Amino acid sequence: MTLIPGPMNVEPQSLEALIAEFAGLPGIGQKTARRLAYHMLTRSKADVERFSNNMLNAAEKVHPCPKCHGFTDQEVCPICASRVGAKSICVVEKSSDIVPFERSGIYKGLYFVLGGVISPLDGIGPEHLHLPELVERIKTEGIEELVLALGSSPEADSTALMIDRMLAGVNVKRTRLARGIPMGSDLEFVDEVTMLRAFEGRVSL
């Protein structure tokens, strides 16, 4: 019987490289990355090429809108282009936060993507966000209502405060999204902070 070597790294280098790519995605751990990479190997060549091309294509064509910083593949995004003259602007942290607004159909105004929230621990100061452009846009476009939709972390709260300060003397109504019990939630499992805010914000029937 020949010499049998010890445990070996059975994965080809090119497969390891693909696992590493998937593992570099946010929220994807080593196990999921391995599962996804092995899955790709079971796909047809045409399938893999299409995925690869769609990735390159999106990265090449999509860029931030120069007016609102939301992702677009046009010179100016369709919302900024078509809602010229709208008098409200909704401030969100990132481009994907626009999707649920548009899906609900409740809001017909403009958006502004801040590019994050102030977070000293992560090294994100006001200078990393598009704050001056927001103030400028509010002033020059005669915006009447600013809707803050920045989530409910302490960082979001201090960013909201910063925006409020920068708009001192500017005649614009400032609102933020309501906080409370989400739809379909079982009261038993609602966390303390949400309950606190839902109770504080209770309304008469």
Neighbours of 127 (CB within 10 A): 8
Alpha-carbon distance of 148 to 184, in angstroms, equals 24
Among 67, 92, 95, 143, binds its own copies (CB under 8 A): 95
**Cβ neighbourhood burial of 109 (10 Å; 0-12, 13-18, 19+):** middle
The single residue among 67, 69, 72, 149 that binds its own copies, judged by CB under 8 A, is 72
Q: Is 9 in the site for its own copies (CB under 8 A)?
A: yes
* Sequence-ordered list of residues with C-beta below 8 angstroms from that of 201, at least 6 positions apart, any chain: 178, 179, 180
Note whether 164 binds its own copies by CB under 8 A: no
- The answer to whether 170 contacts its own copies (rule: CB under 8 A) is no
Strands 88-92 and 110-113 turn out to be parallel
Closer CB to its own copies, residue 50 or residue 139?
50
Q: According to the binding rule CB under 8 A, does residue 202 interact with its own copies?
A: no
- Output the CA angle 89-90-94, nearest 5 degrees: 130
Which part of the chain contacts its own copies (CB under 8 A), choosing from 88-96, 126-134, 163-171, 177-185? 88-96
How far apart are alpha carbons 15 and 20 in whole angstroms? 9
Among 14, 153, 171, 175, binds its own copies (CB under 8 A): 14
For the segment 26-55, give every residue that binds its own copies (CB under 8 A): 26-28, 32, 34-41, 43, 45, 48-55
Using CB under 8 A, pick the residue from 23, 29, 57, 92 that binds its own copies. 57
Please tell me whether residue 105 binds its own copies under the rule CB under 8 A: yes
Q: What is the spatial distance between Cα 157 and Cα 140, in angstroms, rounded to a whole number?
A: 26
